[in-house]
Amino acid sequence: MVPLVYRFLKQRDIIHLKLLMIILMSCIPDRIELCSNHFKAAPKVPSHFSSSNVPFSLETLSLDGHFSFENNQYAANDFGNMHHFLPSAVLHPKSVYDISTTVKHIFHMGSGSEFTVAARGHGHSLQGQAQAHRGVVINMESLKEQEIKVFTGERPYAEVSGGHLWINILHETLRYGLTPKSWTDYLYLTVGGTLSYAGISGQAFKHGPQINNVYQLEVVTGKGDVVTCSEEQNADLFFAVLGGLGQFGIITRARISLEVAPKMVKWIRVLYSDFSTFSQDQEHLIASRNSFDYIEGFVIINRTGLLNNWRSSFNPKDPSRASQFSSDGRTLYCLEMALYYDDNNMTQKTERLLSELNFIPSTLFLSEVSYLDFLNRVHISEIKLREKGLWEVPHPWLNLLIPKSKINSFAKEVFGNMLNHSTNGPILIYPVNKSKWNNRTSLVTPDEDIMYLVAFLSSAIPSSTGKDGLNHILTQNKRILQYCATAHLGTKQYLPHYSTQEEWRAHFGSKWRVFLNRKSAYDPLAILAPGQKIFQKAIPLRDT
């Protein structure tokens, strides 16, 4: 997902960052009640439960790492900054044994305890998914000290901890001239986090999401068992965990598929004033066999002086014509593309591909950067936002997967009628080919072969009037979701968040029963990922 425009827009327009990020999903049998708490309601603790007894029992465990029982407020925060549930303890594991021992201990406490466990990566959840009210949060980054092992050969791969950041994996694999195939736009996310969602970006049309580029996993289940799984070994758990919202196990190690890394990137942006032409060109590119290596797009609502802000970093093809272009008061659609190369700069291929498109000629902007700088482009925006104190604001993002057949109707209603100049943040939109995705994972997508990712990446920034705009954005998101439902568009949420059983059942559709059975098998007490609010810890199922 790709907010590549951030550092080229005015300061008020770069307030958002795209992470598509990437973290958890869930399930369990009919006998376990689904959580129906609304988004700021903390789970109630029954009178017979004494949280003061829990830290003592945890202190008796023999671990390589340690627990912290005080000053854990950071574990009640995340990037979304809208949910804040304080845990009783935070585990800082130094080994997989630490995680297994802790989960097994809580499992054996039984259903009489409401103690739960949440794995926390780099804290980029949006809706409190990595939080555990009065439970245990596992700081997965404590595992990142484990060595990244790169294996070369005909089928190269990297063995990495679930707590490693993708940026560290990139640096290490580049030392061998290799790189993972599929990415998120933001690299400061953990492996376990993105694999628990999907991991989508501009390479997904070509390689599929990150969950399609994994050979093997090591997982700690909700019973505390450590299981190695792949397509050939313990396949049901393997596919359950991928895109499983953390509901079936904690990813402690992954074997990531690699390919030969390019050195340079030709980075291109063009603009459209007509959505239909814009979407047709995107679909044409992802269907081509010899296309760009990266394709994304975004919507620009009523932005002023757009090209002047881009010109500092991107060179226009024709400066004189570009200077005459005005974006004032217009809704524009930006197509963003990248072509990877080594010694040959791919000029002829670039010109051939561009000649097949129907963008506004005067808006062709080009740049050439290193492969590393291109993949890590969003981090520059993060640094600027942190300096301005704008990183820790609420991020009520909404991410949707929309069938190709419905995208024009969606664009006409949402971009044409619902959104206006008050929309403050990138709106990403680009198609992916589902033939590159494995339908055996827990990820739920629309039924059609081509679908669009549409991400509304708004931030609730305090205004001069003292209003943070959060309610306005939440209301806008609700209107969009209501429209999708009443118009029967067949959309699915990416990074889903619901509060009722009916909504979760509707989200999973035909996969709900499989999801439920997997929860029963791998986390029968509903210990894992309580922040997803799919299940509540309840009466255990009969041990089979």
Looking at the structure, do residues 212 and 350 belong to the same domain, yes or no?
Answer: no
Count the domains in the chain: 2
pLDDT, position 272: 95
Beta strands at 427-433 and 398-403: parallel, antiparallel or unpaired: unpaired
pTM above 0.75, yes or no: yes
**One domain for residues 221 and 354:** no
Q: Could you tell me which residues come within 8 angstroms of residue 345 by beta carbon, excluding any fewer than 6 positions away?
A: 264, 266, 368
One domain, residues 288 and 179:
no
Q: Tell me: do 157 and 217 sit in the same domain.
A: yes
In the block, tokens 């790189």 appear at: 179
Same domain, yes or no: 361 and 456: yes
Q: Are strands 89-92 and 136-139 parallel, antiparallel or unpaired?
A: parallel
Domain co-membership, 489 together with 353: yes
Domain hosting 489: range is 264-493
Give the pLDDT score at 53: 57
The DSSP secondary-structure symbol of 418 reads I
The whole-number pLDDT of residue 499 equals 85
* Residues tagged active-site: 124, 185, 296
| Residues 286 and 169 placed together within one structural domain of the fold | no
In a domain? residue 369? yes
In a domain, 10, yes or no: no
> Last residue of a domain, which of 261, 277, 302?
261
Q: Is residue 372 part of a domain?
A: yes
Last residue of a domain, one of 493, 512, 530: 493
Q: Are 405 and 485 within one domain?
A: yes
Inter-residue contact 97 to 82 (CB < 8 Å): no
Same domain, 306 and 408: yes
Whether residue 293 lies inside any domain: the answer is yes
CATH of residue 439's domain is 3.40.462.10
In terms of Cα–Cα distance, which of 102, 117, 90 is closest to 535? 117
The Cα 386–Cα 468 span in angstroms is 18
Same domain for 324 and 393, yes or no, is: yes
Question: Do 268 and 256 reside in the same domain of the chain?
Answer: no
Structural domain includes residue 464: yes
CB atoms within 10 A of CB 493: 16
Determine phi and psi for 340, rounding to 5 degrees. Answer: -90, 145
Instruction: State which of 231, 261, 291 marks the end of a domain.
Output: 261
Are 294 and 229 in the same domain? Answer: no
pLDDT (tens digit, 0 to 9) for every residue of the chain, 544 residues total? Answer: 433 333 333 333 333 333 333 333 333 333 333 333 333 333 333 333 344 556 778 989 999 999 999 999 999 999 999 999 999 999 999 999 999 999 999 999 998 888 999 999 999 999 999 999 999 999 999 987 678 999 999 999 999 999 999 999 999 999 999 999 999 999 999 999 999 999 999 999 999 999 999 999 999 999 999 999 999 999 999 999 999 999 999 999 999 999 999 999 999 999 999 999 999 999 999 999 899 999 999 998 866 566 666 656 677 777 766 666 666 667 899 999 999 999 777 889 999 999 999 999 989 999 999 999 999 999 988 888 888 888 888 999 999 999 999 999 999 999 988 886 666 778 999 999 988 899 999 999 999 999 999 999 988 876 644 456 888 889 999 999 999 999 999 999 999 999 887 899 999 999 999 999 999 999 999 999 999 999 988 644 333 2
Instruction: Please report, for the domain that includes residue 241, its CATH number.
Output: 3.30.465.10
In a domain, 504, yes or no: no
Copy the structure tokens of residue 137: 């949060």
